[in-house]
């Protein structure tokens, strides 16, 4: 069976470091509005200003991070390529030169006065712009797991970086209060958020497990609450008496004194979310929807991309969007019969680009097609844009070869972005074509809930 990577994860109990009884998120109020594809890329809720979106802005790579200006009247969005685009009264202070980047950007944080920002890469490299001070990075360290996020101290004279295993790295005046680096986590850490006084922080895992350190208070988690989609970040309220958890469906869960401002995670339609950021007033948040952006998927590795590979990526990207047949039936799709269709989509893309391949319904057959022609690559190989990535443990059957996608970008450190059909994060079986990444293929089990077992060239 083909399924999105995050759906292959089993939602299991996560450890919290403060309480045994886990409070539940408050239920959605009656008439809660559903998320949807607004086409704005950035949507605001609560006291977030209603700002113009990024409709029509061309980006080289997928958006991965968002931050709000000090007055709440603007925002920055950063892409994996380090492009910084602005909305409202936000001013751009630049981005890293491509030659200085080895790994893709995965997040950002703004200075307290909004006159600068930091960008952090998958390898922990930190780039400072405007009045943001550089206080160090993990770029020269050999990390056990990749960096997934950062947060600044209240005075902006330091910051924390967090890795997917919950390892925390403190720089400047940021205080190290502990980590989950030595704990066997049920699911990887995806974000960090500081307390108002900077004397503590929350870590949040993709299953919604919340871990508290220093003076951060535990108010509940999403573990066991049937969210059916990964969590992408945590935003605390101003007084630290609650927080919002942002889900990959584009919805939120509320805990403690956090007010519900919408949308709810399990109400369709869905627009995949990559990040959530709080407003200065602490009564709202903005959600970043990368699949709604206009992305060219340009070369980011410095290696020439073949014309065939470019054509494949362009065709694949043109299909990005929600349930392609608008709820006409479970797994119904434009690429074949109503069944699991990630392989149907990928082979349709190749076929449309002139590759002589059958419209395969099973991912393992794509591997066998490639292996018979000497086009199959080991999971440790460096793919090219236009190749396909195969997830699982091998091509034997639907239990071992579970999903596939089109490689859209390859970064100098080997990280990849992919475009995948029959992917989420809709929890009800109606899937779309979405962006996945950036992630390191070697870390695919953490990033996607399943390993990469091969690439195949067209």
Indicate the pLDDT class of residue 30, thresholds 50, 70 and 90. very low
CATH code for the domain of 189: 2.130.10.10
Residues 419 and 363 in one domain: yes
Residues 274 and 327 in one domain: no
336 has a pLDDT exceeding 50: yes
Residues 284 and 305 in one domain: no
Q: How far apart are CA 406 and CA 421, in angstroms?
A: 9
How confident is the model at residue 17, as a pLDDT? 33
How confident is the model at residue 387, as a pLDDT? 98
Residue 194 CB neighbour total at 10 angstroms: 26
**Which structural domain range is residue 323 located in?**
300-456
Residues 362 and 419 in one domain: yes
Q: What are the tokens at 249? A: 């469906």
Residues 267 and 312 in one domain: no
Kindly report, residue by residue over 287-299, the tens digit of the pLDDT: 999 999 999 999 9
> In this structure, are residues 279 and 46 in contact, taking their beta carbons and an 8 Å threshold?
yes
Residues 273 and 354 in one domain: no
Mean pLDDT of 174-180: 96
176 has a pLDDT exceeding 90: yes
- Closest by CA position to 255, among listed 15, 26, 18: 26
123 has a pLDDT exceeding 50: yes
Query: Could you give the number of structural domains in the chain?
Result: 2
Residues 353 and 267 in one domain: no
Secondary structure of residue 241 in the 3-state scheme: coil
DSSP string covering 167-207? -EEEEETPPP---STTS--SS-EEEEEE-TTSSEEEEEETT
Residues 310 and 366 in one domain: yes
Residues 331 and 247 in one domain: no
DSSP 303: S
Look at strands 294-295 and 58-59 and give their pairing: parallel
Burial status of residue 26 (CB atoms within 10 A of its CB: 0-12, 13-18, 19 or more): middle
How confident is the model at residue 447, as a pLDDT? 93
Q: How far apart are CA 142 and CA 148, in angstroms?
A: 15
Q: What is the percent of the chain with per-residue pLDDT over 70, rounded to a whole number?
A: 90
How confident is the model at residue 19, as a pLDDT? 30
CA angle 98, 101, 103 (to 5 degrees): 130
Kindly report, residue by residue over 247-279, the tens digit of the pLDDT: 999 999 999 999 988 888 887 768 899 999 999
Q: How far apart are CA 175 and CA 360, in angstroms?
A: 53
How confident is the model at residue 23, as a pLDDT? 54
Residues 72 and 174 in one domain: yes
Residues 283 and 304 in one domain: no
CATH code for the domain of 386: 3.90.1720.10
Q: What are the tokens at 453? A: 């077992």
Q: Which of 234, 261, 292 is where one domain is finished?
A: 292
Indicate the pLDDT class of residue 51, thresholds 50, 70 and 90. confident
Q: Which of 270, 292, 314 is where one domain is finished?
A: 292
Residue 162 CB neighbour total at 10 angstroms: 29
Residues 117 and 165 in one domain: yes
Q: Which of 292, 326, 361 is where one domain is finished?
A: 292
How confident is the model at residue 453, as a pLDDT? 98
155 has a pLDDT exceeding 80: yes
């Amino acid at each position: 069976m083909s399924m999105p990577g995050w759906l292959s994860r089993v939602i299991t109990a996560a450890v919290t470091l403060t309480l045994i009884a886990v409070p539940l998120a408050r239920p959605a109020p009656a008439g809660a509005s559903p998320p949807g594809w607004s086409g704005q890329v950035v949507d605001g809720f609560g006291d977030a200003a209603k700002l113009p979106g990024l409709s029509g802005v061309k980006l080289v790579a997928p958006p991965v991070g968002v931050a709000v200006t000090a007055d709440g009247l603007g925002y920055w969005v950063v892409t994996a390529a380090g492009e910084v685009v602005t909305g409202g009264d936000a001013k751009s202070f630049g981005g890293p030169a491509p030659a200085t980047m080895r790994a893709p950007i995965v997040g950002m944080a703004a200075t307290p006065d909004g006159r600068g920002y930091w960008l952090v890469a998958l390898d922990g490299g930190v780039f400072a712009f405007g009045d943001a001070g550089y206080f160090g990075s993990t770029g020269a360290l050999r990390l056990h797991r990749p960096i997934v996020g950062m947060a600044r101290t209240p005075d902006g004279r330091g910051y924390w970086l967090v890795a997917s295993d919950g390892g925390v790295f403190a720089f400047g005046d940021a205080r190290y209060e502990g980590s989950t680096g030595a704990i066997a986590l049920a699911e990887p850490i995806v974000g960090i958020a500081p307390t108002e006084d900077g004397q503590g922080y929350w870590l949040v895992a993709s299953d919604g497990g919340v871990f508290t350190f220093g003076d951060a208070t535990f108010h509940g988690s999403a573990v066991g609450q049937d969210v059916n989609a990964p969590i992408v970040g945590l935003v605390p309220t101003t007084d630290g008496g609650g927080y919002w958890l942002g889900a990959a469906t584009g919805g939120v869960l509320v805990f403690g004194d956090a007010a519900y401002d919408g949308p709810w995670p399990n109400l369709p339609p869905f627009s995949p979310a990559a990040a959530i950021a709080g407003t200065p007033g602490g009564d709202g948040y903005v959600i970043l929807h990368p699949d709604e952006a206009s992305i060219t998927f340009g070369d980011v590795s410095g290696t020439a991309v073949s014309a065939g590979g470019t054509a494949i990526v362009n065709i694949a990207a043109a299909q990005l969007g929600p349930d392609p047949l608008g709820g006409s039936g479970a797994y119904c799709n434009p690429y074949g019969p109503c069944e699991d269709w990630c392989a149907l989509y990928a082979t349709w893309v190749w076929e449309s680009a002139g590759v002589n391949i059958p419209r395969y319904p099973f991912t393992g057959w794509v591997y066998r097609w490639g292996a018979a022609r000497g086009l199959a690559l080991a999971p440790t190989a460096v793919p090219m844009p236009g190749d396909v990535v195969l997830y699982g443990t091998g091509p034997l059957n639907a239990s071992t070869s579970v999903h596939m996608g089109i490689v859209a970008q390859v970064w100098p450190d080997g990280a990849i972005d992919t475009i995948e059909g029959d992917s989420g994060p809709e929890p009800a079986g109606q899937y779309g074509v979405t962006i996945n990444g950036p992630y390191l293929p070697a870390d695919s089990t953490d990033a996607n809930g399943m390993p990469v077992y091969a690439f195949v060239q067209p």
